[in-house]
Structure 1
Amino acid sequence: MEIAIVGRNTDVPERFRRHVEDKLAKVPQLAPTAQRIDVEVAHEPNPRMSDVRERVELTVRDKGPVIRAEASADDSFAALDLATTKLLERLRRARDRRKDHRNNIPIPPVDVRPYEAPAEEPAEPTGPLAPGEVSETTLGDSPVVIRQKVHAATPMSIDDALYEMEMVGHDFFLFINAETSRPSVVYRRRGWSYGVIELDANGT
């Protein structure tokens, strides 16, 4: 299994790279078919955010859904520890879901996404983005940066969308509803409550 490490606004020392390999040694046990783990290390230069200035994002590329975890701390090693804990928990949940499937408990199929290579320096967009491409643009003369990414969409059920939302650790998930063929979003509400929003292009 390949581990790819990239840095954003920071250099990644060899000592940290070795620590990453040690921390992720358990991943093949929980995801034996995983092909690659992308590790992104980012530094926040704003001194007001010194307690969360180092961010680590871990993404496991497997045959099933993408599984991701991220964490921030004042130190990259601490951020890695936090992110790894989240990642291993999500991998265990994904493994248990596969076991349920093998035991003939009916579970809808999950989305299978193609591999998306990380883009360390996204180019300025020259047209519509293709699936997997990323672009970053600034909003006029302001410091606001808009990051755009296109995912290939496979219709899925609401249950699958909730599962994938949990696996990537987000508060929302955009998908095509297999029952209605509408663009839809599931999102987290308070507690264990969730919401669903659908778009009707033919609405008036």
Structure 2
Amino acid sequence: MKFIVSGKNIEVTEALKEKAIKKVGKLEKFFNDDTEAHITMSVQKNRQIVEVTIPFKGGLLRAQEENEDMYASIDKVVDSLEGQLRRYKTKISKKYHESGLKFDDTNIEEHEEETDEFKVVRSKKFPIKPMTVEEAILQMNMLGHSFFMFLNADTMEANVVYRRKDGNYGLIEPDN
């Protein structure tokens, strides 16, 4: 596993970098050797935030945690990732017909854009792969998001799944 450690509003010390790599490295057994783990540490007022993103073929594992102490944030984010892996290991393993979670990495690009009328503060690009509605809901839950855009494998059209306030899920499809 390859580790990319960066900081926002913070100088990442060698001790912080080593701690983050050591802790996130515990997840190495679940991924291929060429998978990249992006670890971003940031400071906002008195909040110490750690975000870990691990893109792999067909999915993305992501967690973000904050605390008053950066080392505690690192511990919390690794615990969160381990919990996600425990919950979804069986489903993901069945999907990829493998005994463990071994995946290739994919690239994620992030950039900021501005427009005249509306201010877009963050934009993400990611590869859209055909998947079933169930797989899209699984991916949405893994990311901890309330919605997820995907290419429906049945219709080959862009769809969005979302979590409703009542705990159920909704599906948005184009009307042609």
Task: Give the shorter-chain TM-score range.
Answer: 0.7 to 0.9
C-alpha deviation, 1:82, in angstroms: 1.6
Kindly indicate whether the alpha-carbon contact (under 8 Å) linking 2:136 and 2:148 is maintained by their aligned counterparts in 1. yes
Tell me the distance in 1 between the aligned counterparts of 2:74 and 2:89. Answer: 22
CA distance in 2, matches of 1:156, 1:185: 12
Q: Where does residue 3 of structure 1 map in the other structure?
A: 3
Using the alignment, how far apart are the partners of 1:155 and 1:100 within structure 2? Answer: 17
Structure 2 residue 152 is the aligned partner of structure 1 residue 199: no
Cα gap change, 1:176/1:63 in structure 2, threshold over 3 Å: closer, same or farther?
closer
Which stretch of structure 1 is more off in the superposition, 55-64 or 3-12?
55-64
- Asked which structure has the greater RCO (Cα within 8 Å, sep 6+), the reply is 2
The separation in 2 between residues aligned to 1:133 and 1:61, in whole angstroms, is 11
Give the Å deviation of 1:141.
Answer: 10
Deviation at 1:157, TM superposition (A): 0.9
Distance 2:37 2:135 in 1: 22
State how far apart, in whole Å, the 2-side matches of 1:64 and 1:137 are. 27
Task: Give yes or no for the alignment of 1:69 onto 2:44.
Answer: no
Kindly tell me: are residues 42 and 140 of structure 1, through their superposed partners in 2, closer, same or farther at Cα, counting changes over 3 Å?
farther
Cα-to-partner distance string for 1:13-65 (whole Å, 9 max, x where unaligned): 11111211221232023x142522110112224xxxx3xx2221112233442
The reply on whether 1:189 has 2:159 as its aligned counterpart is: no
> Do the aligned partners of residues 19 and 113 (structure 1) sit closer, same or farther apart at CA in structure 2, a change above 3 Å counting?
closer
- CA distance 1:192–1:70, shift in 2 (3 Å): same
Counterpart in the other structure of 1:121: none
Q: Offset of 1:6 from its aligned partner?
A: 0.7
In structure 2, give the amino acid aligned to 1:115: T
| Separation in structure 2 between the aligned mates of residue 10 and residue 141 of structure 1, nearest angstrom | 32
1:84 Cα deviation after fit:
0.9
Q: Gapped runs of 5+ residues in structure 1?
A: 104-111, 117-131
Shift in alpha-carbon separation, 1:99–1:14, aligned structure 2, 3 A: same
Indicate how the Cα distance of structure 1 residues 64 and 177 shifts in structure 2: closer, same or farther if over 3 A, else same: closer
Which whole-Å CA distance do the structure 1 matches of 2:110 and 2:71 have between them?
A: 27
> Whose radius of gyration is greater, 1 or 2?
1
User: Given the alignment of the two structures, is residue 135 of structure 1 paired with residue 126 of structure 2, yes or no?
Assistant: no
Unaligned runs of 5+ in 2: none
Question: Alpha-carbon deviations, 1:88-121, whole Å to 9, x = none?
Answer: 1112234322454559xxxxxxxx88622xxxxx
- 2:21 alignment partner in structure 1: 21
Aligned partners of 1:2 and 1:37 also within 8 Å: yes
Question: Aligned residue for 1:33?
Answer: 32
1:115 maps to: 106
- Aligned residue number for residue 79 of structure 2: 85
Residues 36 and 105 in structure 2, CA contact (< 8 A), matched pair in contact too:
no
Q: Is the contact between residue 32 and residue 104 of structure 2 (CA under 8 Å) also seen in structure 1? A: no
